[in-house]
Amino acid sequence: MSDFSAVDLICAKRDGQALGPREIAWFIDGYTAGRIPDEQASALLMAVYFQAMAPDELAAWTKAMIDSGERLDLSSLDRPTVDKHSTGGVGDKVSLVLAPLMAACGAAVPQLSGRGLGHTGGTLDKLEAIAGWRAALSNTEIVSQLAGVGAVICAAGAGLAPADRRIYALRDVTGTVPSIPLIASSIMSKKIAEGTAALVLDVKVGSGAFMKTQPEARRLAEAMVTLGEAHGVRTAALLTGMDTVLGLTAGGALEVRESVETLAGGGPADLVAVTLALAREMVESAGLDADPAEVLASGAAMDVWRAMIAAQGGDPDAELPRASVVETVDAPADGVLGRLDALAVGVAAWRLGAGRARKEDPVSATAGVVCRAAEGDAVRAGEPLLELHTDDESLLPGALAALEGGFEVVAEAGPPRPLILERVTAGGRA
Ligand code: URA
């Protein structure tokens, strides 16, 4: 590969010029291989943060990240492959219900997932609340589970987009995570390398999400849809609300329990609605003929869930662990819960032990928050509004502090917040 100068690339990007595909490939390859040092990569990332990237540049950056590793070959499967990716939210346990549901609809779902960082929980951390369940699978195990069970949720192996692993770790410590081109290339390089033929993106919008406003979320969705389609992956996105908690729980075992209730035909209405909206998109992009609501009601998704957990060493019948300390926060007045802020609940769950501050930190399977009421529910003064679950009583004050100002009891309910805000496809938005 021809040699460029890292300083020249940094200066060009700093001054708002677009980098060419060969320069980008040289940089990504050099940084992944350790030839370009962190300080130069940090400077370039910060320049991208301020100057963004032109569409061609973003496409070349993403391609270079994909080319840094292997691509999973799912061509031996006889079902259509389709996956979902969420940009992350509080109480977002949709994957746990959706992956088995889509397999029960006839798809193969290769859900290669990550761990949580900060106030949003990671899917793998949640599933690890199930005794014996194993996140690390080989590529052969992934393909064989997809052929047999139809769904797999596991860790993305080290061979997929290794450039992202290095760049994401550097972004995390250099203030360059919240950049639309860097987020889009990070997510899409992994999803394209995973080998799925179709992808539905759940781009969360609101206080508990990366993207706080709908225009920002739309720009991220459009960038990701364009990247997916350019690589032959049928890609669509839904923008969904994340100003309040999704469902009634945030934290590992608590969220697994709620997901199992949903697979059994119960579960909170908002969780069911978002799951079914995404499932309908996935059915359409995979070209399947199935009604996800009927399949969920039939119990077939629960059968796949049980098989999926057992295939990865977990016992679907095992009791989920429970926290030794449960503290309640009571409603301050009679009325209606007018606002329950996703970020406040997410930070409280994190401080109780459900999340991590650094990627090497452990998470507690039992910690988290249970909402005894959702926005719009009637509440009575002195009755529990929230339960804080932890195994370490000393963590309670920090969690209680996070919840200060995070909820409001009002006299009359306002209009419910819309859950599904917008749909973005290659053909435009609706
Ligand atoms: N998730 C990712 O995988 N990458 C990002 O940059 C942000 C969220």
Contacts 24+ apart (CB under 8 A), 257-262: 257/320, 258/93, 259/93, 259/96, 259/97, 260/302, 260/305, 262/97, 262/296
The one catalytic residue in 113, 179, 186, 207 is 186
Q: 45 alpha carbon to ligand 1 midpoint, in Å? A: 14
| Digit-coded pLDDT (tens) for 174-197 | 999 889 999 999 999 999 999 999
| Digit-coded pLDDT (tens) for 362-405 | 899 999 999 999 999 999 999 999 999 999 999 999 999 999 99
| Digit-coded pLDDT (tens) for 192-214 | 999 999 999 999 999 999 899 99
Tell me which of 45, 61, 164, 168 to substitute to probe ligand 1's pocket, judged by most ligand atoms within 8 Å of the beta carbon: 168
State residue 118's pLDDT score: 73
Query: Is 164 a known active-site residue?
Result: yes
**φ, ψ of residue 154 in degrees (nearest 5):** -155, 175
Query: Is 417 a known active-site residue?
Result: no
State residue 240's pLDDT score: 98
| Digit-coded pLDDT (tens) for 246-258 | 999 999 999 999 9
Question: Is residue 105 a contact partner of residue 290, using CB atoms and an 8 Å limit?
Answer: yes
Cβ-based neighbours of 308, under 8 Å, separated by 6 or more: 99, 100, 103, 145, 149, 151, 152, 153
State residue 158's pLDDT score: 87
Tell me if residue 359 falls in helix, strand or coil.
coil
Structure tokens given for 98:
């959706």
User: What is the bridge-based pairing of β-strands 378-379 and 109-113?
Assistant: unpaired
DSSP letters, 154-222, are EEPPTTS-HHHHHHHHHHHTTT-SS-HHHHHHHHHHHHHHTT-SEEEEEEEESTTSSB-SHHHHHHHHH
Q: What is the CA radius of gyration of the chain?
A: 22
Question: Is residue 78 a contact partner of residue 200, using CB atoms and an 8 Å limit?
Answer: no
Query: Is 391 a known active-site residue?
Result: no
| Integer Cα distance of 69 and 226 in angstroms | 21
Strands (E), 87-157: 109-113, 151-155
Tell me which of 87, 95, 216, 359 to substitute to probe ligand 1's pocket, judged by most ligand atoms within 8 Å of the beta carbon: 87
**Looking at the DSSP assignment, which residues form a beta bridge with residue 369?**
250, 388
User: What is the bridge-based pairing of β-strands 234-241 and 249-250?
Assistant: unpaired
Q: 183 alpha carbon to ligand 1 midpoint, in Å? A: 5
Tell me if residue 67 falls in helix, strand or coil.
helix
| Digit-coded pLDDT (tens) for 1-43 | 568 999 999 999 999 999 999 999 999 999 999 999 999 999 9
| Digit-coded pLDDT (tens) for 325-351 | 999 999 999 999 999 999 999 999 999
| Digit-coded pLDDT (tens) for 73-132 | 999 999 999 999 999 999 999 999 999 999 999 999 999 998 876 777 789 999 999 999
| pLDDT mean over 225-242 | 97
What number does the ligand 1 atom closest to the CA of 168 have? 6
| Digit-coded pLDDT (tens) for 121-167 | 789 999 999 999 999 999 999 999 999 999 999 999 889 999 999 99
Which amino acids bring their CB within 6 angstroms of ligand 1?
114, 168, 177, 182-183, 186-187
HSE-up (13 A, CA, CB side) for residue 393: 2
- pLDDT at 358 exceeding the cut of 80: no
Q: 343 alpha carbon to ligand 1 midpoint, in Å? A: 18
| Digit-coded pLDDT (tens) for 261-298 | 999 999 999 999 999 999 999 999 999 999 999 999 99
What number does the ligand 1 atom closest to the CA of 187 have? 3
Per-residue confidence at 356, pLDDT binned at 50, 70, 90? Answer: confident
What number does the ligand 1 atom closest to the CA of 171 have? 6
State residue 194's pLDDT score: 95
- Give the residue from 387, 278, 300 showing the smallest Cα distance to 100: 300
| Dihedral sign of CA atoms 255, 281, 288, 184 in order | negative
